[in-house]
Chain A
Amino acid sequence: GAVVSQHPSWVICKSGTSVKIECRSLDFQATTMFWYRQFPKQSLMLMATSNEGSKATYEQGVEKDKFLINHASLTLSTLTVTSAHPEDSSFYICSAPLAGVSYNEQFFGPGTRLTVL
């Protein structure tokens, strides 16, 4: 099956710093990738849709200047949390749909656990 990787798996940073999370599709090309955030005991919350070669589409309430998304190639999307604060601590998950399959199944990366001190 299709594989999506994320790096890093976990990161601890100081308040005010920026953190970059990478999402890679390892064995397929992904023109679209999705970034989710998940707080403990809650479901996935879509933050933004990353589109290769164009600007990301952000969901309502998600600050585009705080959560910078770059989809530079067909296999890589990055999410940068700028000026991180403790309330940004969460589990960040990316996913990529496998185009060409009849139902556009999304394959998830393993997630990145961010802790902001």
Chain B
Amino acid sequence: GQNIDQPTEMTATEGAIVQINCTYQTSGFNGLFWYQQHAGEAPTFLSYNVLDGLEEKGRFSSFLSRSKGYSYLLLKELQMKDSASYLCAAMDSNYQLIWGAGTKLIIKP
């Protein structure tokens, strides 16, 4: 079956760095997405990885290892506004997104 695993909740301190891990199992693979979702709002796109390695975009970076079925989202210089849920989603061979349950990130001052 298809499955995405990510931690339910994480806590970090303002100004620090946090890494949110995601493991996936899908029928075929066409890339790994990370989305940010604030409470009561729709998800917004953060990153996409289809090749192994690290993609950096400002304070956010995303890493992929296809052989390990593993990805992480790295958030640097955390700000209070980064408090949100972070959704990991893998695209299968039919180009459908398989979603994780999301990781709620709590930022403390």
Contact = CB atoms under 8 A, between A and B. Distances in A.
B66 to A, nearest CB: 15
Interface of A is mostly: strand
Interface stretch (A14-22, A64-72, A73-81, A107-115): A107-115
Contacts, number: 44
Contact of B41 (A106, A107, A110): A110
Interface in B28-84: 30-31, 33, 40-45, 48, 50
Contacts of B43: 44, 93, 108
A40 B50 CA distance: 30
Interface string A38-55: 000011111001000000
A43 B99 contact: yes
A111 B97 contact: no
A104 interface: yes
Given A43-B87, A43-B102, A107 B97 contact: no
Interface string A96-112: 01000001111111110
Nearest to B50: A103
Contacts of B30: 103-104
Interface residues of A, number: 20
B7 to A, nearest CB: 13
Contacts of B31: 103
A49 B91 CA distance: 15
Contacts of A44: 43, 87, 99
A46 B97 contact: yes
Contacts of A113: 40
A43 B45 contact: no
A97 B91 CA distance: 12
B42 A43 contact: no
Contacts of A46: 96-97, 99
Interface of A: 34, 42-46, 49, 91, 93, 97, 103-111, 113
11 contacts: A42-B101, A43-B87, A43-B100, A43-B101, A93-B42, A97-B95, A104-B91, A105-B45, A106-B97, A108-B43, A113-B40
